[in-house]
Structure 1
Amino acid sequence: MSRIVYVNGGFLPEASASLSIFDRGVLFADAVYEVTAVIDGGLVDFDAHQRRLRRSLAELGIDFDPEEAGLLDIHRELIHRNDLREGLVYLQISRGVADRSFLQPTNAQPSVILFTQAQSLLDTPAAESGLSIITQPDKRWHRRDIKTTQLLYPSMMKTLADERGAHDVWMVEGGHVTEGSSSNAHIITADGSLVTRPISQDILHGITRAAVLDYTRETGAGVVERAFTVAEAQGAREAFITSATAFVTPVTAIDGVPIGDGHPGPATRRIRAHYIDHSRSRLQY
């Protein structure tokens, strides 16, 4: 059965959906996006995703009001029409349609598209066995804090990791890890502290990252927001990634070097379980 998607005000079968070739998102990646996880038919951290969406829109100067547009109702309707129990809802907003010009138009009507994607989020092989990571230089643009659709380099690096028999890549700049292809990077040191790069223009301000740090602080464990090197990560007790759809997923090898004993560690498993339980208690239907 064809999915029902949303394009610029209408719900329609995916085979009938289209976007103008003059859309700024197509021509210039002049667009932002959010991905909200769905478990048990409910939206995970929806309000936090909408706050980040508003920030991204403001940073690019795209005039669009998520609340006025009724994005929550659109998400709910898509979940209902596609009978989605577990997976994600992808949302993309571009500046809109205009003749191709490097000068951003001032009167374009933003384009809005959403679609669902069914996939397992709770019980995944990676959560049980961990991820193998390779490292590569970070050659992305330097406004990574804006969740734009400029994802070509991360896509290239994810593909490279797959070709080399790994699951994903951690990007490195100035000798320090920035983040994964679509995730934030974390390590747990020998003394049990959680270390992750601080919020800046160098990384995406992850929603799951923020929730995990809040929980970790509540438990009394140490949280240190600073950059860390590849060597430090390889020598860490545990390592993991966070993202909207990976939740908290262990990393068990970096550039072929096992992390800890080469298996998902107890702290990462505990954090993942708490995040899922916490998310389930706050689902939006």
Structure 2
Amino acid sequence: MLPPGRRTATFAGSLTELTRTDPETVARELAHLATHRLAQRGPGREQRRALLQALVDRPDAGLGPVTEALDAYHRVAIAPDWPRIDALLNDDIAHRLETLADGGADRMMNDLHPSVTFADQTLRIVKYYEGHADCGGRGLMLVPCAFAWPDVLVRTAQPEPASVSYSPRGLGRLWEGTPASTGGSALAGVLGSTRAALMAQLDLPMSTSQAATQMALSAPTLSVHLQALRAAGLLTSRRAGRQVLYSRTDLGDRLLTAAASGP
């Protein structure tokens, strides 16, 4: 599959783009995957190879069933958690842009991953194979990916821009549970249950629409609560592209921690 062609690409749009892929290209890549020594480790190797070969033998190289399977998997496994995933990715992008502005490309690149170093205009990545790609004229696309860890995924096939997919900073926060309930806490008694729950939710920077989705409230209603908490010094905000991301301040963190600890 190709890396996203733009930052705001939707999953539905990417699926549509996938269906337009040349079946010969898909068949070639599936055949390579069927014999890949790392992808085919462990039990069930022959069954996986047979499945991949069956897709290769189809006229559409399996694009139909693969697209349907991806769509079904996304609805069940990704979509329910997408607001938090998207918030984490946007937070990482904002951090990279700030790092680039403060310290240049050297500082931004060397902070991507322990396996990645950047010096003399050359990006070096420790992988299980050796290869070299000249990005001159094509550029390099950096893609934060919540499912890349512990690896760094590299794509250099021409004519598309080369891409490096890496884990966003703070990935461990993604699956951390927020306090189970703040509805009956002392904090809820002061702030109200909605604002207390919103405080607990913003362990990751989120836009108004992302937080509204998580809280099952309308964006205008959430905006009123966000502005009130921000005015009280419990939240901070920063612009990332066209979005404004909200997150807890140190005061907000301490208040939430104290409320969770009890008297």
After TM superposition, the score normalised by the length of structure 1 is 0.26
Larger of the two Rg values belongs to structure: 2
Return the structure number with greater relative CO, CA threshold 8 A, min gap 6: 1
**Which structure carries more strand by proportion?**
1
